[in-house]
Structure 1
Amino acid sequence: MSVENQFPADLFDAMVGFIEQHPQWDQYRLMQSALAGFLFQQGCQDKPVVRHYLDGLFRKPEIAAH
């Protein structure tokens, strides 16, 4: 499934700024984490959603190879 959405400019700018400051994140990881967090906070207890939510909270930054 593909999802297309128009973001308000201020949210899009904030997302771009976050990704620039945190290179271990990309737009897909950020959106997955945000959606899982929203669903979890709304009471969703499906195991895959909870796993994505917890991965977003506790995933360690990937160390770039030099």
Structure 2
Amino acid sequence: MNTTVSIFTVIPEPLHESLTNYLETHPDWDQTRVLTAALSLFLLQNGDSDRHAARIYLETLFHQC
């Protein structure tokens, strides 16, 4: 069972504008998918190489979530 958790965060306006521009030109992506991919990649690169983070990252990239 995949449980999801909602988070609220504040990001710099230029980053939000870049994200908005990206999403406008890539309709198969949404904010949740982008942030999930980014967070899971960050954890893979800077964490303990958790297998769960790797699985989520790959599923997100290949749109299987």
TM-score w.r.t. length of structure 2? 0.77
Report the equivalent of 1:63: none
Secondary structure of the corresponding residue to residue 17 of structure 2: helix
Amino acid at match of 1:5: T
Aligned residues with identical type, % of pairs = 36
Structure 2 equivalent of residue 42 of structure 1: 46
1:15 is aligned to 19
Separation of aligned partners in 2, 1:20 and 1:28:
14
2:49 partner SS: coil
Greater relative contact order, per chain length (Cα 8 Å cut-off, separation 6+) = 1
Which moved further from structure 2: 44-53 or 24-33? 44-53
Unaligned runs of 5+ in 2: none
Matched, 1:3 2:4: no
Alignment counterpart, residue 59 of structure 2, candidates 44, 55, 60: 55
Aligned to 2:35: 31
Structure with greater Cα Rg = 1
How many pairs align? 59
* RMSD, aligned α-carbons: 1.6
